[in-house]
Chains A and B, each alone.
Chain A
Amino acid sequence: MRNRRLVLWTAALAGYAFLYVPLVIVIAYSFNNSRLNAEWVGFTLQWYDTLFHDENMLVAAGNSLAIALVASLVSTVLGTAAGVAMYRYPARLLSVLVLAPIAIPEILMGVSLLIFFVLLNFTLGLVSVALAHIAFCIGFVAIVVRARLAGMDETLTEAARDCGASPWNTFRYITLPLIMPGVIAGALMAFTLSIDDFVITFFTAGAGTVTLPLQIYSMIKIAVTPEVNAVSSLLMLLTLALIILASKISPTLLRSE
Chain B
Amino acid sequence: MTRIIALLASLLVAAPVLAKDAFHLYNWNNYIAPETIKRFEDFCKCDVVQTYYSDNEELLAKLAAGAKGYDMLVPTSNAVQALIKGGQLKPIDKSQLTNLKNINPIYLDTAFDPGNKYSVPYAMSTTIIGYNDQKMKELGLPTDTWAVIFDPKYLEKVKGRVTVLDSSSELFAAALKYLGYSANDVDPKHWDEAAALIKKAKPYWAAFNASSYIKELTVGNIWLVHGYSNDIFQANLDAKAAGRPFQILQGMPKEGAVLAVDNMVIHKDAPRPDLALKFMNFMLEGKNSSELTNLIGSGNPNMDAVKYIKPEILKNPAIFPDKAVEAKLEQLKDLTGPQRRLRNKLWTEIKAGR
Known: A36-B218, A205-B51. A58 touches B4 (CB 8 A): yes
Stretch of B149-157, B208-216, B303-311 that contacts chain A: B208-216
Q: How large is the interface on B (under 10, 10 to 19, 20 to 34, 35 or more residues)?
A: 35 or more
27 A-B residue pairs with Cβ-Cβ distance under 8 Å, sorted by A, are A34-B238, A35-B241, A36-B218, A38-B215, A38-B219, A41-B242, A56-B50, A58-B8, A59-B7, A62-B8, A114-B65, A118-B65, A124-B69, A126-B14, A202-B58, A207-B68, A208-B16, A217-B54, A218-B28, A218-B29, A219-B29, A221-B210, A221-B231, A222-B29, A222-B214, A222-B231, A222-B296
Q: Is the CB of B24 within 8 A of A208?
A: yes
Known: A115-B66, A207-B69, A208-B24. A218 touches B53 (CB 8 A): yes
Q: CB-CB < 8 A to A257: which residues of B?
A: none
Q: CB-CB < 8 A to B26: which residues of A?
A: 207
- Mask: chain A, 195-207; 1 = CB below 8 Å from B; 0 = not: 0000000110111
Q: CB-CB < 8 A to A209: which residues of B?
A: 16, 51
Complex-state Cα separation, A63 to B11, whole angstroms: 7
Q: CB-CB < 8 A to A37: which residues of B?
A: 215
- Quick one: which of A26-81 are within 8 Å of B by CB? 34-39, 41, 52, 55-56, 58-59, 62-63, 66
Task: Count A/B pairs, Cβ under 8 Å.
Answer: 115
Q: Is the CB of B65 within 8 A of A35?
A: no
Complex-state Cα separation, A202 to B129, whole angstroms: 31
Q: Is the CB of A124 within 8 A of B58?
A: no
Q: CB-CB < 8 A to B52: which residues of A?
A: 210, 214-215, 218
- Quick one: which of B1-18 are within 8 Å of A by CB? 1, 4, 7-8, 11-12, 14-16
- Report the minimal beta-carbon distance from B59 to chain A, rounded to whole angstroms: 11
The residue of chain B having its C-beta at the shortest distance from the C-beta of A114 within the complex is B65
Query: Could you list which residues of chain A lie within 8 angstroms of chain B, going by C-beta atoms?
Result: 34-39, 41, 52, 55-56, 58-59, 62-63, 66, 111, 114-115, 118-119, 123-127, 202-203, 205-210, 214-215, 217-223
The residue of chain A having its C-beta at the shortest distance from the C-beta of B230 within the complex is A222
Q: Which 4 A-B pairs have the closest CB atoms?
A: A207-B69, A118-B66, A218-B52, A218-B29
Complex-state Cα separation, A218 to B59, whole angstroms: 12
Q: CB-CB < 8 A to B212: which residues of A?
A: 220
Q: Is the CB of B22 within 8 A of A208?
A: yes
Complex-state Cα separation, A115 to B231, whole angstroms: 34
Q: CB-CB < 8 A to B30: which residues of A?
A: 219, 222
B70 within 8 Å of A (CB atoms): yes
Q: Is the CB of A62 within 8 A of B51?
A: no
- Besides the contacts A206-B69, A208-B51, A209-B51, what 19 more A-B pairs have beta carbons closer than 8 Å? A35-B241, A36-B215, A36-B238, A38-B218, A58-B8, A66-B11, A66-B12, A111-B65, A114-B62, A114-B66, A124-B68, A126-B14, A126-B15, A202-B58, A206-B16, A208-B24, A208-B69, A222-B231, A223-B234
